[in-house]
Structure 1
Amino acid sequence: MLIAAMRRKLDAHTDDDRPALQSVAGNWPAPLTQQAATDASSGPRRFHLMPFSRGVSGKSTVLEGKTMGQIQIVGYESDCNCEHCGRALRHGVRLSDGRTVGATCLDKKLTQPRVYQGKQYRFGAEFIVKVAKVVEFYSPSNWARFGVSASSTTFEASA
């Protein structure tokens, strides 16, 4: 009954009832992703692929010309020295750049905190040691058994 009422209502309206939505040529307006925009530097018109080039805060959401250094955990080493602070370590974390550092130095000094829904957090030294051991002793197909993924082995380096 409700569907029949909606059909009658839709059938009652024709395209002539809605002239404001149609352009002069009789076509429907293009969606936001296909509207042409002029750019003074490029000259001719070009199409925007993304309707929103700025985030909610008004800042650009794209990193323009900035590349952050990536640090990746590639292994584990026991009974070594930290190449960052010089401490004797029981658990050492091998990095992609060849250094062996402690989990605390990696977590607090060498990397940026991660961001989730606007809140910053860090993994913690205990989890970093666990990640290093899993990367060292298991194949990547078995990492999920321990709660480790490829993204949890990669960090943004501090400036």
Structure 2
Amino acid sequence: MNILVALLHHIAAFTLVSTLLAELVLIRQPLTLSSARSLRFIDNIYGMSAMLIIVLGVLRVIYFEKGQDYYLHNHAFMLKITAFIVVGLLSVYPTVVFLRWGKSLKLNQLPILPEGQARSIQTILKLELTGIVFILAGAVLMAKGYSM
């Protein structure tokens, strides 16, 4: 069971990164009905993968790995969790923008995306991807036995 939970945790993490990259590619192009729908769909997958990472991560910490005491006193783990929280908080703005497009898309109308807002979302997505680097750094340090 430990291996299955770890595998699903990693698949969810790769899915999360893939969705961020897909959103960045789409938001850099002129918005169309198709790309707006895709952004909403991809962002839903992003959210589901983030939730799956949380659930599986909690299960791993409590039941399948080294135990809560090890993780909650490990600075590398805290780096990883802090970066994950920051990435999650950054993701709120793009998600809210994409959700607001729902009514327009149901009416087959192109949502309004001012250029400044598109640039802001691009910046946020890049910051989220940068945050992923810190998550990975924490994971590598943990795997190598460092607690910082």
TM-score range, shorter chain: under 0.3
Higher strand proportion: 1
Normalising by structure 2, report the TM-score: 0.27
Higher relative contact order (CA 8 A, sep 6+): 2
Higher helix proportion: 2
Q: Which has the larger radius of gyration?
A: 1
